A and B are shown apart, each in its own frame.
Chain A
């Protein structure tokens, strides 16, 4: 277990934010605070008894307006391991389908006196909009192409477990950067922690002026991989594409698929990461995804539960009247 390397301010000054809408706006020590808080849950989750009744009696609502498997499960497990009452709002059968506006849905959830609301929505900015209207902490589980802060934090936790230190670490993020909230949150998080971030995609999948986010921009995957310590692959978000962005998946793999040969040009101990879901044989080959000792893909899922436990625990301290957090 990595030991805390920083003396944090006392009480709520360590993490003064009401919710977690994005990595933007978090100071580096606030990011590491959440990572450090997560370590105890990484430990506990590996034990036989992996529950602790810290959030007993609290209600956490998972409001997912967009389909999700792993993030929803991860948040649900995180809440339950801490003893909270977790309820999931299934959009497919909710009044959202009947034309209710997002704000009305948010006000309804608020009136039920939830102690935290976890939201995923297909539109950038939707989570901020709700956070401004409700009384309890709001956690962003992904909003459009904007941010997915817990994914970036769990990725940072995963990297920290393997590499200890972010300073000078070269992280290559390759894939559909344009449509990826994971890429944006990871860029903000990793550059804030001192890593050197490269992004790689064909021009059509690269957002304009991304270079102004302190990253190096590549279109040539070979160059982007050279000497990388971490290779983070993203899938093609076909559901967000209007029109044709690439000629075909197999042509995409030809230029941007992570193969064993390509991986060999990165550092010999380079980590392979993917936020999932993976399209094996497109952006990542199976023998890379399953490469023992290098692939962190299942570790990312493991860290995800612990990191989300930390976020829920920290953000409900006010509601639980934890000393110094009132």
Chain B
């Protein structure tokens, strides 16, 4: 299908930029949105796609993924993803950033996050300005926290000068050590090396102070504890430029999921207590959390079929991001409009890309979604390069039925 012929997605319920949902259509011309909402109709010569009454929503923007296996993202309705620098080799030089930035085009756009430090070791600053000009849309400390406060301050000052956001991993390295679980009854019974949940709040406290000192915008990729979320909430109330993200695992699961040493539930940060899980839900409801992302990290048996302590953390999440977030809508924690703010417009704003909203002039990245359609997560049948999901065999609702990137339809595996 040519992207040059105007396309109209008709007969749907359109998710408007203000979060409202109206029956209507979206018209795309030249890869951008020309009109959206009620009263939009095809003109002569337009291509027409009938949404059959389903939701017409912005394509999802997944902030902070570790792999870009396209079929999984397309299955999940994700048209853009911000790629973590934790690649092999890491995204710490401009050439690798430039390659990553073009790796998914045309039907999936990858926005690389530049490694904050060389080799992600937390010591020497990487060539951030060169990487920005090669296509990096932010800076990330990677899977680890920068332990040295002096390095973190210089990083934040540099980021402020370049007007880039620093995305950090909030776990105090000294407390965490080689822990693979959150200290508590579960970790004690399993005999897993564990760190107190307060490791998160400690890291956030320091990083907020440093970011404020440097005048830099800071994003905490996954905030998972009650104490950590309270700190973000207070900083926002003070007017500090701070955003927070989370992945569905932390509002769906607690550390009980690690029973029987299930390595698919080995995540970083580790799964928390039931009280923290509820705190994450409350923080999504009250706006403390800005972004829900997949944290997509497909891992094969060589990384997961190991004793828990020796296994690698991470889950393949791109396919389940949308349906798991929609559980919050069904539970009346948030409404549909807010769900797409968490999944599309907020990450778009953080990345500074003209997408994530169905508004005139924005990139025509559009997902047609049946929010009720039931299906069962099956780790053996996933589109991702590996099926490491803690949600295996779980029934979910919400499926993408058609996907458009820049006004051109993307082929999906038949549902």
Contacts and interface: CB of A to CB of B under 8 A. Distances in A.
Nearest to B183: A208
A210 B307 contact: no
Contact of B307 (A124, A207, A212, A243): A124
Interface of B: 177-178, 183-185, 187-194, 196, 260-261, 301-302, 305-310
A125 B308 contact: yes
10 contacts: A102-B306, A102-B310, A103-B301, A103-B305, A123-B309, A124-B308, A146-B191, A184-B188, A207-B183, A242-B177
A212 B185 contact: yes
Nearest to A240: B193
Interface of A: 24, 101-103, 121, 123-126, 128-129, 143-147, 181, 184, 207-210, 212-213, 242-243
Contacts of A208: 183-185, 187-188, 194, 196
B183 A147 contact: no
The 3 A-B residue pairs with the shortest CB-CB distance, nearest first, are A125-B261, A145-B191, A123-B307
Contact of B185 (A102, A143, A209, A242): A209
A203 B157 CA distance: 39
A126 to B, nearest CB: 4
B49 to A, nearest CB: 47
Contacts of A126: 307
Of A181, A209, A212, A243, which is in contact with the most chain B CB atoms at under 10 Å from its CB? A209
A102 B189 contact: no
Given A145-B191, A145-B193, A146-B190, A128 B261 contact: yes
A126 B192 CA distance: 12
Nearest to A147: B191
B114 to A, nearest CB: 31
A124 B190 contact: yes
A271 to B, nearest CB: 26
B196 to A, nearest CB: 7
A42 B177 CA distance: 45
A101 B306 contact: yes
Nearest to B307: A123
A123 B189 contact: no
A102 B178 CA distance: 20
Given A124-B261, A208-B183, A102 B307 contact: yes
Contacts of B196: 208
Given A129-B305, A145-B192, A207-B183, 7 more contacts: A123-B308, A123-B310, A124-B261, A124-B307, A125-B261, A145-B191, A209-B185
B309 A125 contact: yes
A8 to B, nearest CB: 27
A209 B275 CA distance: 15
Contacts of A242: 177-178
A102 B309 CA distance: 13
B174 to A, nearest CB: 9
A213 B191 contact: no
A243 B305 contact: no
B190 A243 contact: no
Contacts of A24: 189
A213 B307 contact: no
A121 B309 CA distance: 12
Quick one: which of A103, A125, A145, A181 has the most chain B CB within 10 A? Answer: A125
Contacts of A209: 183-185, 188
A145 B181 CA distance: 13
B312 to A, nearest CB: 13
A264 B122 CA distance: 54
A234 to B, nearest CB: 14
A145 B184 CA distance: 14
B309 A124 contact: yes
A212 B187 CA distance: 12
A209 B194 CA distance: 12
Nearest to B192: A124
